Amino acid sequence: MKAAPTILHLDMDAFFAAVEQAAKPSLRGKPVVVGGIGPRGVVATASYEARVYGVHSAMPTAQARRRCPNAAYLVPRFGVYRQVSDRVMALLSELSPLVEPLSLDEAFVDLEAGGVASDEAAARRVAERLRADIRAQTGLSGSVGLAGSKMLAKMASEMAKPDGLVVVPPGTERELLAPMPVRALPGVGPATAETLRRAGLSTIEQVTEAGEDELVRLLGKAHGVWVSAMALGHDERPVVAERDAKSVSVEDTFDVDLHDRIRIRTEVARLADRCVVRLRGAGRSGRTVVLKVRRYDFSTLTRSETLRGPTDDPVVVREAAERLLESVDTTGGVRLLGVGVSGLADYTQEDLFAQAEQAAAPVPEPAPDAAGPEPAPEPETRRWLPGLDVRHAEYGAGWVQGSGLGRVTVRFEGPGAVVPGRVRTFASDDPDLQAAEPPPLLRDG
């Protein structure tokens, strides 16, 4: 842990939704939800206007629609998000060689290693300049936390949201942590929090008062020592440059063993959706889906399935995980379930929903007999997903606002517009309407 608050944590505010609002003037100041739009879709990001209604990431899109029916529900455009992320990460790299990206919109920076700050005043100036540069070059806001450790810097950036800066001065760490719930500590998930709650430990202050020996008794040596150190604010983890995960995974440990097969299947589907949200947040896709099952006797089984190509489609990952579950005997009970994706690749926009679209495409008819007449080809049905970019021969660039019943509604506007653009509706097979590349969003630095 550093003597001065020179560890910076940047977290862009509602990143995916904010990019869409910056690109689409008609959505500025309005609820926007980015994610899967189908009946089994999952929210990736919700704008702050949508969060007022209780919408949040990893929530089923169907539930989000019930809570906020007037929001704009858009499919992700990861190619655009990565371009903006690259610009933000380039600004961070100007501050220090030690930049540790956690996802497209989040990173740690060691300012002292870059020689730009060695005390609180200098670190604050650097952080304010960074926030101003991000807004100038992207039009977006980011929240920043400054502290002597990664854990406290991340907590500070969360407190700074949205569009703020919070500094944790040396010597104030214990005071800051004391009233927080134990779930705020890294490494404390639902199961650990429940174990601590049953022991009467609900806040970080109560955890520190209990002491390391009691935590080791409750949680085991390694985990107990870790939680004790985090509760005291003793986080010695360094900022590691060029962090590159080999896989993305999520798992849950259950307080009571699960026996019901339907409940187990439901939990696997939920974990698969959460895994995809994390995968997309990192701007990645993967080829191999991994299922982890820890049974009642603590034996742990893993099963994996390698797909034809990288995907970040929640339907594909969910169905693969469910297939893997079919090969696991769970009759004795399940203590832990996990779903992961490995074989990661950088995301490419063309991958988005590709496998889902292939699954939804009509099955081709068998080839006709050689002696018979060749049937006329069926017209190709185009899918107009809300939020994606289009261009019309007469009206120019725009984006899909909605589609159905053979019609597609387009709003013609771009990032540089001051007022919302006009809306037009076309036949879904209108030859003058074509998919298009996104218009430039970034500004010159």
Annotated catalytic sites, by residue? 106
Q: What are phi and psi of 198, to 5 degrees?
A: -65, -25
Q: Are 82 and 347 in contact (CB under 8 A)?
A: yes
Cis amide linkage into residue 162, ω under 30° from 0: yes
Q: What is the DSSP letter of 149?
A: S
Structure tokens at 188: 């404390």
d(CA 141, CA 19): 10
d(CA 37, CA 61): 6
d(CA 32, CA 100): 29
DSSP reduced 3-state for 269: helix
Q: Which of 323, 267, 328 is closest to 302 using CA atoms?
A: 328
Beta strands 142-147 and 165-167 are parallel
d(CA 395, CA 410): 10
d(CA 38, CA 61): 8
Q: What are phi and psi of 334, to 5 degrees?
A: -125, 130
Q: Which of 116, 90, 104 is closest to 7 using CA atoms?
A: 116
Structure tokens at 199: 């022991």
Match 């469910």 to its residue by tokens: 322
